[in-house]
């Protein structure tokens, strides 16, 4: 475990005297923390600070999308309602879907991972910390651009899927769809950068001894998700770029009159869109795999089967996109293959459910709020999975296509499969974020309001869909008989709104008045619970050494001659230990960059380029100039940093 690094030195596991460790910890805190003040806030690169901004920003978009959904439910609460007109309603349902799919679901999962993954694998930071900061600013500016357009009555009105020719220049004049298309490019650029950061962090910055078969299941879930992002996101970026070229430059990629193809849009979009469901769902599975062992008080059952199930889910997810296109004129034989694949993907999910149940069945359960959300997830996911298998059948899909049955299924899978685990995860890791516990009584009230309100809202939509109510309509006639169930669904939406409000109160109140949490208030076994709550700037006082899958639980079994931490790394600079991919054997040292204002400046320049291109293609040409200047300044070597690098290389 001690190969020579690039400078000829050797990284040896070891333990320094207590006084020396304290001095080193204080020095590491000074070196790794972000600078104070406004300039320091803009230049921040610490992964925990960036992740917190990501989480608060995505949660803000979630609240905005929820308020939009509540407005739509009020409009549909009774037939022939005139609260909201058709044009505004089109913008509302487009903004709701766009926000939830592009500005909340995937970014919030990446944000939580960006905070936790370095702690889980024993790293002081994420890889490419400046790129991580740049990804946040790009995401923020893209979301603000979309909502700014909405406030100015230029919000998208063609749905979050923007089907052509409805979203083409003939049927959607103006700039509404243009803003939507560029927002997609913004957010997917951010997601791609975050995926690269996560992949590199998990594969190369693990603590010594954390081999691939010792990685926490949440880290496995995020590694699988990140690789999926690399393959899925370019498809939708290509689709949106083709759309804006059709609208602004006069290409005819989707125009059948000029030998274009409207189905090309659907293929490109759903090749992203269905893996997108699993980009949201798989991190939720990772949350469950982290929470269940802690509250069952035993290691996870079937670790290897769980990892293989995650990987197989990712592969199968890319073979399902045509089941969104069963109503199109595609060959029947081809549809049958996608039907089979749509049913087959239930198998790896079932394997994981059985492993969780086995872990809970043989454990000693601690019924706290995070576990309640896990148990609710089981119930809701099974219902969503059953309706998903139903929709995989072509004849049934043709009957309920574009009805509220599909809306119900979508929300059971996404809210049930992602938001319930996410809220449970926030309760679970909130002590690690803040050093305090959330209120348990408020948490239970919030859980029951959310669980009951969710089912009251979305279960009636199955029946509405079977009765023929189409989705994306702003009103309906009274004689159809849909009013009663729509009123019930609206009442459930109000319950969800009250639950979210209670959750916000719990978050804010607990930050100051919650019970003080120690490093490991739940008795968890993974490595993040070995760090202080909240963690210091460099996460750990010294890089830990790992000997098992549950390092905290197994620490008492470590032999006296087995070192607990790594020595030999510089503490006066941002030096990190890089390990091998398979066995986490120390490979070499790497010097990480200091905080810099240039990722923020580069994001501003990128934003100007994208927004300018909505109005003139020449903005792409001239907008490249400030982007190039900002990137050059970003990567230009600093004299002080160069001196540090040279000094580290000259070490004996």
What would the mean pLDDT of 204-225 be, rounded to a whole number? 95
Please report the pLDDT score of residue 606 as a whole number. 95
Residue 23: the pLDDT is 78
Express each pLDDT in 498-554 by its tens digit.
999 999 999 999 999 989 998 899 999 999 999 999 999 999 888 899 988 899 888
Residue 617 has pLDDT above 90, yes or no: no
In terms of Cβ atoms closer than 10 Å to its own Cβ (0-12, 13-18, 19+), residue 158 is: buried
Indicate if the pLDDT at residue 555 is higher than 70. Answer: yes
Over residues 339-365, the pLDDT tens digits come to 888 889 889 989 999 999 999 998 889
Indicate if the pLDDT at residue 652 is higher than 60. no
Q: Which helix (H) or strand (E) holds 204?
A: helix 176-204
Tell me the average pLDDT across 74-81. Answer: 95
pLDDT on residue 329: 86
pLDDT in tens, 637-648: 876 666 656 565
Q: What tens digit of pLDDT does each residue of 384-403 get?
A: 888 988 998 899 999 999 99
Which pLDDT score is estimated for 1? 36
Mean pLDDT of the chain: 90
> Distances in Å between the alpha carbon of 33 and those of 193, 541, 573, 594?
23, 13, 11, 10
What are the CA-CA distances from residue 271 to residues 103, 185, 322, 411 (Å)?
19, 16, 8, 20
CA–CA gap between residue 353 and residue 300 (Å, rounded): 12
The mean per-residue pLDDT over the stretch 4-30 comes to 61
pLDDT cut 90: percent of the chain above it:
71
In the prediction, which pLDDT does 647 show? 60
Of 281, 451, 266, the residue nearest 352 (C-alpha): 281
Q: Please, which pLDDT band fits residue 3 given cuts at 50, 70 and 90?
A: very low
Which of these ranges, 138-142, 389-393, 457-461, has the smallest mean pLDDT?
A: 389-393
Distance CA 47, CA 125 (A): 6
Q: Which of 16, 49, 209 is nearest to 538 (CA)?
A: 49
The greatest distance separating any two alpha carbons of the chain, rounded to the nearest whole angstrom, comes to 86
The tens digit of pLDDT for each residue in 164-186 reads 999 998 899 899 999 999 999 88
If pLDDT is split at 50, 70 and 90, which confidence band does 564 have? confident
Alpha helices (runs of H) in 249-365, residue ranges in sequence order: 262-296, 303-317, 332-344, 346-361
Q: What is the pLDDT of residues 425-451, one digit of tens each?
A: 999 999 999 999 999 999 999 999 999
Distances (CA, A) of 643 to 34, 43, 573, 574, 638: 21, 21, 11, 13, 9
Does the pLDDT at position 6 exceed 60? no
pLDDT > 90? residue 219: yes
151 pLDDT exceeds 90?
A: yes
Element spanning 566, H or E: strand 566-567
Of 320 and 201, the one with more pLDDT: 201
Q: Are 197 and 132 in contact (CB under 8 A)?
A: yes
Asked whether residue 622 carries a pLDDT value surpassing 60, the answer given is yes
Looking at residues 416-422, what average pLDDT do you find? Answer: 91
Residue 598: closest CA among 637, 644, 572: 637
Number of Cβ within a 10 Å radius of residue 258:
11
Name the CATH code of domain 38-513 (choices 1.10.630.10, 3.40.640.10, 1.20.1260.10, 1.20.210.10): 1.20.210.10
Mean pLDDT of 366-371: 93
Measured CA to CA, the distance from residue 75 to residue 68 in angstroms comes to 11
Distance of alpha carbon 238 from the chain centroid: 21
What pLDDT was estimated at residue 643?
61
Distance, in Å, from the CA atom of 178 to the CA atom of 156, rounded to the nearest integer, reads 8
Per-residue pLDDT averaged across 14-31, rounded? 73
| Residues 18, 523 contacting (CB under 8 angstroms) | no
Phi and psi at residue 587, to the nearest 5°: -110, -55
Pairwise CA distance, residues 475 & 461, whole Å? 15
């Amino acid at each position: 475990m001690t190969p020579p690094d690039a400078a000829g030195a050797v990284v040896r596991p070891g333990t320094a005297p207590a006084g020396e460790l304290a001095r080193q910890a204080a020095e590491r805190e000074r070196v790794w923390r972000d600078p104070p003040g406004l300039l320091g806030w803009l230049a921040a690169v610490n992964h925990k600070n960036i992740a917190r901004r990501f989480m608060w920003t995505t949660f803000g978009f979630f609240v905005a999308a929820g308020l939009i959904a509540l407005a739509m439910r009020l409009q549909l609460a009774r037939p022939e309602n005139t609260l909201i007109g058709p044009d505004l309603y089109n913008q509302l349902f487009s903004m709701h879907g766009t926000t939830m799919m592009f500005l909340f679901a995937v970014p919030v999962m990446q944000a939580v991972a960006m905070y936790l993954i370095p702690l889980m694998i024993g790293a002081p930071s994420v890889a490419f910390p400046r790129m991580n900061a740049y990804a946040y600013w790009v995401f923020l500016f893209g979301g603000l651009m979309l909502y700014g357009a909405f406030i100015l009555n230029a919000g998208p009105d063609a749905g979050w899927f923007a089907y052509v020719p409805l979203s083409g220049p003939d049927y959607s004049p103006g700039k509404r769809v243009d803003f939507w298309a560029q927002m997609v490019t913004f957010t997917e650029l951010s997601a791609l950068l975050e995926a690269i950061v996560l992949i590199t962090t998990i594969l190369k910055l693990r603590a010594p001894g954390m081999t691939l078969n010792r990685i926490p299941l949440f880290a496995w879930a995020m590694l699988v998700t990140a690789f999926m992002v690399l393959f899925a996101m370019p498809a939708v970026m290509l689709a949106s770029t083709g759309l804006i070229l059709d609208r602004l430059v006069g290409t005819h990629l989707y125009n059948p009159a000029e030998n274009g193809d409207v189905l090309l849009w659907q293929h490109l979009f759903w090749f992203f869109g269905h893996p997108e469901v699993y980009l949201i769902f798989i991190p939720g599975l990772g949350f469950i795999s982290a929470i269940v062992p802690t509250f069952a008080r035993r290691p996870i059952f079937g670790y290897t089967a769980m990892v293989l199930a995650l990987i197989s889910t990712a592969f199968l997810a890319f073979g399902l996109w045509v089941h969104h296109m069963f109503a199109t004129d595609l060959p029947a034989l081809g549809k049958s293959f996608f039907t089979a694949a749509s049913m087959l993907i239930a198998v790896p999910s079932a394997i994981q459910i059985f492993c969780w149940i086995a872990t809970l069945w043989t454990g000693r359960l601690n019924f706290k709020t995070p576990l309640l959300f896990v148990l609710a997830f089981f119930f809701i996911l099974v219902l969503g999975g059953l309706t998903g298998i139903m929709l995989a059948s072509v004849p049934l899909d043709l009957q309920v296509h574009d009805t509220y049955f599909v809306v119900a299924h979508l929300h059971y899978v996404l809210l049930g499969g992602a938001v319930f685990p996410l809220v449970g995860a926030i309760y679970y890791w909130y002590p690690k974020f803040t050093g305090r516990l959330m209120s348990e009584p408020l948490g239970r009230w919030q859980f029951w309001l959310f669980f009951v309100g969710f089912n009251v809202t979305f279960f009636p939509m199955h029946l509405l869909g079977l009765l023929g109510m189409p989705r994306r309509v702003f009103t309906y006639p009274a004689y159809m008989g849909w009013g009663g169930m729509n009123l019930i669904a609206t009442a459930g939406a109000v319950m969800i709104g009250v639950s979210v409000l209670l959750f916000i109160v719990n978050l804010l109140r607990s930050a100051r008045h919650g019970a003080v949490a120690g490093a490991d208030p739940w008795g968890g076994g993974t490595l993040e619970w070995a760090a202080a709550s909240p963690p210091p700037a460099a996460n750990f006082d010294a890089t830990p050494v790992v000997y098992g899958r549950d390092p905290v639980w197994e620490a008492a079994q470590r032999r006296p001659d087995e070192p607990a931490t790594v020595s030999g790394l510089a503490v006066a600079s941002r030096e990190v230990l890089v390990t091998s991919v398979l066995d986490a054997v120390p490979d070499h040292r790497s010097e990480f960059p200091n905080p810099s204002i240039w990722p923020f400046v580069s994001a501003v320049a990128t934003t100007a380029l994208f927004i300018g291109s909505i109005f003139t293609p020449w903005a792409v040409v001239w907008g490249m100039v400030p982007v190039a200047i900002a990137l050059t300044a970003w990567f230009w070597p600093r004299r002080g940093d160069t001196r540090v690098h040279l000094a580290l290389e000259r070490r004996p």
